[in-house]
Structure 1
Amino acid sequence: MPSFDIVSEVDIQEVDNAVNNTVKEVDTRYDFRGIETTIDLNKKDRTISLVTGDEMKVKAVRDMLITHFTRRKVDSRVLEFGEYEPTSKGQLKQLIKLKEGISKEDAKKVTKIIKDSKLKVQPSIQDNQIRVTGKKLDDLQAVISLVRDCDVDLPFQFVNMKK
């Protein structure tokens, strides 16, 4: 029986490239001259740590990160921006988490959308992914377009298509 998996994954190498490109841009920008700015990617914890001068600089770096993520074809919806925190040196710190995997609530929303579509497919939640099985490939392709258009704020990938 044909099936595929709906996942939400992040290519950490592309994230690393986007962060490195952002660091290079910060180093060359005139408005960041004389202001110590650090952007660190923790691959293990899947977080980006940002420390810079003031709120305006934080917003500028945030915009640069989103731009570089888009250029590297990484969906910027994976970025979850935390609150600003003051540091002891008078700077601002922000922790940015990379969202990966589909939460239980989002998985329930997606399976409900699939079931409400009345297509002859069977979605099932497995850890942080959703497996969809059906008899016809056309039904599975209809599910893919349906999930792409749904209002869940996650980037989805469709993998392991088995015929």
Structure 2
Amino acid sequence: MPSFDIVSEVDLVEVKNALDQCNKEVGNRYDFKGSDARVEQAEKVLTMYADAEFQLDQVKDVLINKLAKRNVDVRCLEYGKVEKVSGNKVKQTVTVKVGVETELAKKLVRIIKDSKIKVQASIQGDTVRVTGAKRDNLQEVIALMRKEITDFPLQYQNFRD
């Protein structure tokens, strides 16, 4: 039985490289001279620091540009609220979402079942496995997912015949 997995993965090495490039650019820019603007990483959580909120927005723009150049899908970022630190300094946490959450996985399974394509979809941890008798049916499901889910990055891996 042919099958494939619907997953959502982010290359954390590329995120780290983009973060280093972002910090280098922020350190070299004239409008950030003398400020404490930077981005730090702790596993899948990025923390942006700046002296004011408008600088935080500029740091976010630089970060998004660097991530996009390194082929990291920016739809996987979830922004926290802007918090005040000491004085007038601000920070914002950004979570890198990895894996298909159960709510999204249930939505994917529902879309597949409602499509009446002759395949079975099952949730396995943070992936959704789709199994069918024909390869063409599986390709139909991939095309359907690309059309239906536009707000979250999905990859289709582990294709077995």
Match of 1:98 among 96, 99, 112: 96
Residue 144 of structure 2 aligns with which residue?
146
Residue 30 of structure 2 aligns with which residue?
30
CA RMSD of aligned residues (A): 1.1
Consecutive unaligned residues in structure 2, runs of 5 or more? none
> Is 1:41 the equivalent of 2:41?
yes
Structure 1 residue 38: Cα displacement: 2.2
Residue 5 of structure 2 aligns with which residue?
5
TM-score normalized with structure 1 length:
0.95
Runs of 4+ in 1 over 4 A off after TM superposition: none
Which shifted more, 143-152 or 65-74? 143-152
Which shifted more, 124-133 or 28-37? 28-37
Does the residue aligned with 1:161 lie in a helix, a strand or coil?
A: strand
1:102-113 aligned within 5 A: 102-113=100-111
Residue 159 of structure 1 aligns with which residue?
157
Does the residue aligned with 1:111 lie in a helix, a strand or coil?
A: helix
* 1:106 and 1:152 in contact (8 A); partners too: no
Structure 1 residue 151: Cα displacement: 3.4
1:29-108 aligned within 5 A: 29-43=29-43, 46-108=44-106
Q: Deviations over 1:90-143 (max 9, x none)?
A: 200111111111111111111111111111111101111100000111111111
Structure 1 residue 152: Cα displacement: 5.5
Consecutive unaligned residues in structure 1, runs of 5 or more? none
Aligned length: 161
* 2:75 and 2:152 in contact (8 A); partners too: yes
* 2:123 and 2:129 in contact (8 A); partners too: yes
* 2:9 and 2:98 in contact (8 A); partners too: yes
- Alpha-carbon distance in 1 for matches of 2:95, 2:46: 6
* 1:111 and 1:123 in contact (8 A); partners too: yes
Residue 126 of structure 2 aligns with which residue?
128
Which shifted more, 119-128 or 34-43? 34-43
Does the residue aligned with 1:132 lie in a helix, a strand or coil?
A: strand
TM-score normalized with structure 2 length:
0.96
